[in-house]
């Protein structure tokens, strides 16, 4: 494995992108954050300042720009799915070079968007399990004691992804490689979707949802597992429930945090994606249908 420092772009240096960019920069890699003018200016001036339950407090010096101007080894796409289409203008395909594109977004449908815009083979599906947020431009609060990344590495393209994973691990990230992209994406999504909708609907943390609203949680888990199996990914309700029961009770979903702050939520990217997949495969998801309707303000019967 080469030890030459990487050049990595981070499109959307918020909670997730800012944390990853800071860890890579601290490990000696060149990081270029791509953001709007105000955010880019603040990061260029002050760096990425991280307060982390896992990694401590540190400041990482990085570069910042409003758009990519040179080839990179890799580009993380870590914007909210609601901002994805507009944000991709900051990452022109003809300037990417031979670098890989690694999206770490909530939802599922962004993969098709990215593979239409960039060479499909260089778009590496990824997921991340973490609780982190941007409190101000360039300021990251990482509150979970874990940062777990998964990358899809089918046999035909495994070697470059394996090497990239090793570089990420050296920076402090926990990285797992998965041969089955569909199984990987749905494993994260089947955990995320019920918690995102329920924590936001009830304005409550995970601990409250899994106690005060447990019957509703169980119903949502059963529905998402049924859908997961139909799309061709493994799913088990008891395994999923055990995972939900293990996460810190104080954890909040990013959708809930957005709702609390009055920001646009990823309701369509998460809840809407569930409903569209369920409709496409003929799976009944009454709990999700009601939650999406309630969160969108639509009356239901």
The pLDDT assigned to 157 comes to 63
Helix (H), strand (E) counts: the chain = 13, 12
> Who has greater pLDDT, 299 or 31?
31
The C-alpha atoms of residue 63 and residue 240 are separated, in whole angstroms, by: 40
CB atoms within 10 A of CB 280: 11
| Domain boundary residue, one of 153, 179, 205 | 179
Beta bridge partner(s), residue 128: 149
232 plus 107 within the same structural domain: no
| Domain boundary residue, one of 179, 204, 233 | 179
132 plus 224 within the same structural domain: no
Give the model confidence (pLDDT) of 160-172 as tens digits: 899 999 999 999 9
Q: Which helix (H) or strand (E) holds 140?
A: strand 139-142
Grade residue 78 by pLDDT with cuts at 50, 70 and 90: very high
pTM across the whole model: 0.92
**pLDDT of 40 strictly over 80:** yes
Return the CATH number at 139: 3.40.50.720
CB atoms within 10 A of CB 260: 11
Give the model confidence (pLDDT) of 203-237 as tens digits: 999 999 999 999 999 999 999 999 999 999 998 99
Contacts of 156 (CB under 8 A, 6+ apart): none
- Establish if 1 belongs to a structural domain: no
Which residues form the domain of 73? 7-179
- Establish if 2 belongs to a structural domain: no
Domain count, the chain: 2
Q: What is the mean pLDDT of residues 26-45?
A: 97
60 plus 125 within the same structural domain: yes
212 plus 68 within the same structural domain: no
| Domain boundary residue, one of 118, 145, 179 | 179
């Amino acid at each position: 494995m080469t030890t030459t420092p990487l050049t990595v772009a981070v499109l959307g240096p918020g909670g997730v992108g800012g944390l990853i960019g800071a860890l890579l920069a601290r490990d000696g890699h060149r990081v270029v954050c791509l953001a709007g003018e105000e955010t880019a200016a603040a990061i260029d001036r002050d760096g990425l300042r991280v307060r982390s339950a896992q990694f401590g407090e540190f400041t990482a010096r990085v570069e910042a720009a409003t758009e990519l101007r040179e080839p990179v080894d890799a580009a993380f796409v870590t914007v909210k799915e609601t901002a994805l289409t507009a944000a991709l203008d900051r990452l022109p395909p003809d300037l990417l070079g031979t670098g890989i594109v690694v999206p770490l977004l909530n939802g599922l449908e962004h993969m098709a968007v990215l593979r239409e815009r960039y060479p499909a083979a260089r778009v590496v599906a990824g997921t991340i399990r973490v609780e982190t947020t941007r409190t101000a431009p360039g300021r990251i609060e990482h509150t979970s004691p874990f940062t777990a990344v998964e990358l899809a590495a089918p046999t035909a393209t495994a070697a470059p992804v394996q090497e990239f994973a090793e570089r990420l691990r050296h920076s402090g990230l926990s990285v797992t490689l998965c041969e089955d992209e569909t199984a990987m994406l749905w494993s994260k999504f089947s955990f995320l979707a019920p918690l995102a909708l329920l924590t936001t609907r009830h304005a409550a943390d995970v601990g409250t949802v899994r106690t005060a609203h447990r019957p509703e949680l169980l119903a949502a888990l059963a529905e998402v597992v049924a859908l997961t199996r139909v799309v061709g990914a493994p799913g088990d309700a008891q395994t999923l429930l055990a995972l939900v029961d293990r996460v810190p009770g104080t954890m909040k979903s990013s959708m809930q945090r957005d709702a609390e702050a009055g920001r646009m939520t990823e309701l369509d990217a998460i809840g809407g994606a569930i409903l569209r997949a369920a409709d496409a495969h003929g799976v009944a998801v009454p709990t999700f249908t009601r939650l999406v309707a309630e969160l969108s303000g639509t009356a239901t019967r």
